[in-house]
A and B are shown apart, each in its own frame.
Chain A
Amino acid sequence: MSSQKLSAWLLWIYLLLFLFIMLSPLFVMGGAALNDSRFPSVYPWKGFTTQWFVDLWNDPRMWIAGRNTLLVAFGVVALALPIGTAGAILINSLSGATRAIVYGFMVAPILTPGAVIGISTLLFWRTFSIPAGLHLSALGQTSFIAAYVMLLVLARLQSFDAGLEEAALDLGASHGQVLRRILLPHLYPALGAGAIIGFFQSVENFNVTLFTRGGSDTLTVYVGSMVRTGAPPTINALALILILITVTATIIYEVLRRRALAREMAADALLK
């Protein structure tokens, strides 16, 4: 066997192994959601059932937790986008030690454990007599999700030609108009990515939420409490639904993106 063939084989084996390790838990999870067994497992297979979906649908706690999760996530995105963008624009205009310090402050929450962020959010707002609740969860999550947005926007700013800003000013634009018509449109892709990443970071967040939520549930907290009381397969049903939503959304996004790209290339080709 030639070494070329061998490396091709190894690559295939690696790929299969990779996909297996990545995806098999998802299949087990999905399978367990459809297994007519009181314990979440695929084996022994006791027959197909939609019972766990029905149970989930009929659980009012789940609906409240789901609504809360969305509320927090939208709140976080609404806060993190302007804060992260402003931070990136500020850092981009600085240099030297000031830049390093501001940058450090901005990214520190990413490296801080969620429990620490959760507890400090709680303590900080308590000094202003603000009680725990979903609003604090949103604020706590924003502190590190804004940093993700900042990193994305900062990367996008590297490709911005500052000359465009000057050109707009020269034509009589105010700084506000430059921001709205020139800079923000350039940042839209990063803001879109920031919104999506921020949204999912918020949905999946457990640690910060656990400490700040007060008496309210979010989906992660709801699942966490169910696991403690014996993990019924309704959790698997919920997980399967979330996986399907994510996969569908990804496919739709990718299809739309490719169509837009093809349209652009066709338009260019037409003119050449």
Chain B
Amino acid sequence: MSAAVELAGVSVDFGKFRAVDNVNVTVQPGEFFSFLGPSGCGKTTILRMISGFNDPTEGVVRIGGQDMRGIRPNKRPTALIFQNLALFPLMPVWENISFGLEVRGVDKTKRRAKAEELLNLVDLHDVADRRISQLSGGQKQRVAIARALAVEPKVMLLDEPLSALDLKLRQHMRAELRAIQKRTNVTFIYITHDQGEALAMSDRVAVMSQGRLQQVAPPQEIYNAPANGFVASFVGEINAFQGELSAVSGGIGEFKTANGLFRAKVGPGVSPGIAAKLYVRPEHTILAAAARPGANNIPVDVADVAFEGNFINISAKTSDGRSLTVEMRNDGTTALPPAGSKMQFTFDPAKALILADTTLPKPGNWP
């Protein structure tokens, strides 16, 4: 079976500015695939290219194995859900949903029936004759999804569809979208700058930065085995240490930092002499009263303790003033270290990663 969508070496230039840089991705039929990256990294540009509103400067887009060059947006088997939804304000809900059928010459009774059927599918009732302005944010969202599904696309393209909703509704719609995707078995290509969203919903995630792919992998792999420093620090919380890799043996490297010599797993493509950093997630660190043998230890002062219920977030300061984060699970008896107390920030070498330092300068509007 041919891939649902294939981007083969595509780049997009706007004048001298390269918004998408040599992207190679293959999305499988029925897959829920996400592009994750900060604002301005080129996600929307990729979606617009798949739907035909932008042409790649280089490379080829294939949908269902077919080269899309010269095929206009209205002839592509894709449906795009726009960042601002772009619902038609002068049509009632049901005409919005059946617009794609209307332009294909389907008669009115059939269109109306299809609209009702799709409204049921997205769990919206008694709104078919309302105007768009009379809907809530979540309802508009569902109408946009129904409108896109009506044309029975091979590929649904979703551009940050949940970003305008409040937190609670967003959580709910995540599950809903995922369920709709499973029910319809349409290939979803989903764009977001929200890592939680990407991890929770996707079969695979492509992490992007400045127009380039950083890693394409299932969510656990993205989180547990980030390919480089950018992915490690963009996805989830992480403590990073600057330093230099000296010796490597058995996949474990010695890493010299201002806070001491640490041992950690060496990530892909990292060897002595390459700019690298050591990364360790807060939930993989322990705040101990004394240094633990065999672990990496850093003496710290507890600065702030935030009790969050199911876990405890502790911020600690090293002697050179760096701030580190520890996350402890609350098992019901966990004692909170008092602020100001002197402790050891410790982590096991197997839980830490030395990764190529490709952390790019953060754009102003990071989430």
Contacts and interface: CB of A to CB of B under 8 A. Distances in A.
B88 A167 contact: yes
Given A172-B104, A173-B99, A163 B84 contact: yes
A172 B151 contact: yes
Contacts of B53: 166, 170
A271 B130 contact: yes
Contacts of A182: 88
Nearest to B90: A185
B92 to A, nearest CB: 12
B156 to A, nearest CB: 11
A164 B89 CA distance: 9
A108 interface: no
A50 to B, nearest CB: 49
B73 A170 contact: yes
B73 A268 contact: no
Interface in A138-194: 161, 163-164, 166-174, 177, 181-182, 185-186
Given A161-B86, A186-B90, A171 B134 contact: no
Contacts of A170: 51, 53, 73-74, 78-80
B86 A174 contact: no
A174 B103 CA distance: 8
A263 to B, nearest CB: 12
B158 to A, nearest CB: 12
B74 A174 contact: yes
A267 B92 CA distance: 14
A163 B88 CA distance: 10
Contacts of A177: 103
Interface in B88-106: 88, 90, 99-100, 102-104
Interface in B151-202: 151
Interface string B227-268: 000000000000000000000000000000000000000000
B151 A167 contact: no
B147 interface: yes
B interface majority secondary structure: mixed
A201 B45 CA distance: 48
Nearest to A165: B86
A52 to B, nearest CB: 49
Contacts, number: 62
A interface majority secondary structure: helix
B82 interface: yes
B232 to A, nearest CB: 36
Nearest to B131: A267
Contacts of A166: 53, 73, 80, 82, 86
B134 A167 contact: no
Given A163-B84, A166-B73, A267-B134, A171 B151 contact: yes
Contacts of B104: 172
Which of B72, B88, B134 has the most chain A CB atoms inside 10 A of its CB? B88
A203 B319 CA distance: 88
A85 B99 CA distance: 24
A90 B226 CA distance: 51
B118 to A, nearest CB: 13
B276 to A, nearest CB: 43
Interface string B293-323: 0000000000000000000000000000000
Interface string B48-65: 000101000000000000
A268 B82 contact: no
Nearest to B147: A171
Contacts of B102: 181
Nearest to A177: B103
B86 A167 contact: yes
B74 A173 contact: yes
Interface in A110-127: none
6 contacts: A166-B80, A170-B74, A171-B74, A172-B75, A181-B103, A182-B88
Given A168-B103, A172-B103, A181-B102, 18 more contacts: A166-B73, A167-B80, A170-B73, A170-B74, A170-B79, A170-B80, A171-B79, A171-B100, A171-B103, A172-B74, A172-B75, A173-B74, A173-B99, A174-B74, A177-B103, A268-B133, A268-B134, A271-B134
Top 7 nearest A-B pairs by Cβ distance? A167-B86, A171-B100, A173-B103, A163-B86, A169-B74, A170-B80, A169-B73
